[in-house]
């Protein structure tokens, strides 16, 4: 039971990167980036293939990040220069990546059995089971979140936030929102590429279908973090997203413990996300109704 919890924390931290990557586009720039459903397995495919070819796991993970960034840049190019609507641009790249991922792996599923990976690094050897994913996840999450907080507080970071908040205003100040959109897609998908690489190494295999539904997992992390912690600064919300991702894993554990099959997970994920999105709106409506009811009585 405890090991299940530890595993959930580890997986939550690793998937947290996916949430943080999506946060840049979904919450700061204000659009859902479907590319991630292709870049997540792309990161996995690149990392697993690179490791199979004898490349060190660390370099393989960085290659996965670069591949993710390239995919993000492609979506960015399609939507800014090509004027393809952002949702469709993401879907196009995601669909194309399915074939690319098959080419990279040479099969639908590639195992990492008996190969070196980040989770069997020497310093993780003496840990109890599943703690390796917690340690690796924590290290990566801390580094990534810290770098992003630093970035958001730079001049470019502020321009990035502004162009998501009000593109007209950003343009009138000389900031090109199209450039910021590409930046968000490149960095966001780079992080999702890392997430895919880490999850594949942790699971011991890459599968061409492992991207299905990951946008829902990432968005669920963001929204659970928001529902849980309420009003936060942008920097705090990045941390809340990682915590939301961990909590999401526990919700899934609970659901499985209730007797649902693993095959039901996608449906359950979608339902959990839908509920998490609806809760704040319904809460708001209820509060207004309460205020209106009380207000009339007290006012003369």
Partner 1 sequence: MTDVQLQVENVAVNVAVGDTARALLKNINLSVKPGEFVTVLGANGAGKSTLFNAITGDVPVAGGRITLAGHDITDEQPERRARLIARVFQDPKMGTAPRMTVAENLLLASRRGKRLSLGSRQLNARLAEFKTLAAQTGNGLDQALNKPTEELSGGQRQALSLLMATMTQPELLLLDEHTAALDPHTSKAIMTLTQAIVSRENLTCLMITHQLEDALAYGNRMIVLKDGQIAFDYDAEAKAKLTRADLLEYFG
Question: Residue numbers of the site for partner 1 (CB under 8 A)?
Answer: 151, 153-159, 161-162, 165-166, 168-176
Shortest approach of partner 1 to residue 55 CB, angstroms?
Answer: 30
* Spatial separation of the C-alpha atoms in residues 172 and 153, rounded to whole Å: 21
- 71: tokens are 């995919």
- 65: tokens are 């990040």
Nearer to partner 1, 155 or 261 (CB): 155
- 260: tokens are 């649902």
Shortest approach of partner 1 to residue 177 CB, angstroms?
Answer: 9
Shortest approach of partner 1 to residue 156 CB, angstroms?
Answer: 5
The DSSP letter of residue 119 is G
For residue 192, which of 12, 20, 47, 34 has the smallest C-alpha distance? 20
Q: Which region holds residue 54: left if phi is over 0, alpha if psi is between -120 and 50, else beta?
A: left
Nearer to partner 1, 81 or 99 (CB): 81
Torsions phi, psi for 261 (to 5 deg): -90, 155
Shortest approach of partner 1 to residue 180 CB, angstroms?
Answer: 10
Nearer to partner 1, 156 or 288 (CB): 156
Shortest approach of partner 1 to residue 159 CB, angstroms?
Answer: 5
Angle value at C-alpha 73, between 178 and 133, nearest 5 degrees: 120
Nearer to partner 1, 28 or 51 (CB): 28
**209 and 41 in contact (C-beta within 8 Å)?**
yes
Nearer to partner 1, 32 or 157 (CB): 157
Q: Which region holds residue 260: left if phi is over 0, alpha if psi is between -120 and 50, else beta?
A: beta
Burial class from Cβ neighbours inside 10 Å (0-12, 13-18, 19+) for residue 164 reads buried
Nearer to partner 1, 145 or 198 (CB): 145
* Spatial separation of the C-alpha atoms in residues 110 and 207, rounded to whole Å: 7
**32 and 277 in contact (C-beta within 8 Å)?**
no
Shortest approach of partner 1 to residue 151 CB, angstroms?
Answer: 8
Shortest approach of partner 1 to residue 100 CB, angstroms?
Answer: 31
Distance of CA 290 to the CA centre of its chain: 36
Shortest approach of partner 1 to residue 232 CB, angstroms?
Answer: 12
Nearer to partner 1, 115 or 179 (CB): 179
Q: At what angle do helices 2-23 and 177-203 cross, to 10 degrees?
A: 160
Nearer to partner 1, 99 or 158 (CB): 158
């Amino acid at each position: 039971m405890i090991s299940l919890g530890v595993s959930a924390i580890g997986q939550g931290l690793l998937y947290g990167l996916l949430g943080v990557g999506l946060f840049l586009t979904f919450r700061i720039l204000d659009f859902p980036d479907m590319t991630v459903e292709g870049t997540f397995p792309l990161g996995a495919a690149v990392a697993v293939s690179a490791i199979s070819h004898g490349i060190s796991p660390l370099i393989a993970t960085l290659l996965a990040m670069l591949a993710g960034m390239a995919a993000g840049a492609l979506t960015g190019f399609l939507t800014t220069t090509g004027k393809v609507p952002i949702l469709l641009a993401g879907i196009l790249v995601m669909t194309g990546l399915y074939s690319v991922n098959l080419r990279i792996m040479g099969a639908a599923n590639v195992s990492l059995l008996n190969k070196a990976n980040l989770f069997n690094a020497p310093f993780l050897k003496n840990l109890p089971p599943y703690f390796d994913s917690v340690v690796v996840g924590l290290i990566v999450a801390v580094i990534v979140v810290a770098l992003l907080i630093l970035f958001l507080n730079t001049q470019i970071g502020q321009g990035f936030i502004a162009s998501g908040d009000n593109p007209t205003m950003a343009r009138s100040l000389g900031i090109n929102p199209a450039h910021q959109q590409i930046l968000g897609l490149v960095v966001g998908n780079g992080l999702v590429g890392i997430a895919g690489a880490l999850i594949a190494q942790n699971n011991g295999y890459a599968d061409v279908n492992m991207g299905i539904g990951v946008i829902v997992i990432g968005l669920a992390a963001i929204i659970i973090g928001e529902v849980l912690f309420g009003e936060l600064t942008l920097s705090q919300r990045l941390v809340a997203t990682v915590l939301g991702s961990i909590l999401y894993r526990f919700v899934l554990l609970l659901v499985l413990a209730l007797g649902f099959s693993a095959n039901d997970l996608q449906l359950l994920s979608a339902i959990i996300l839908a509920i998490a999105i609806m809760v704040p709106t319904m809460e708001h409506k209820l509060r207004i109704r309460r205020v209106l009811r009380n207000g009339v009585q007290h006012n003369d």
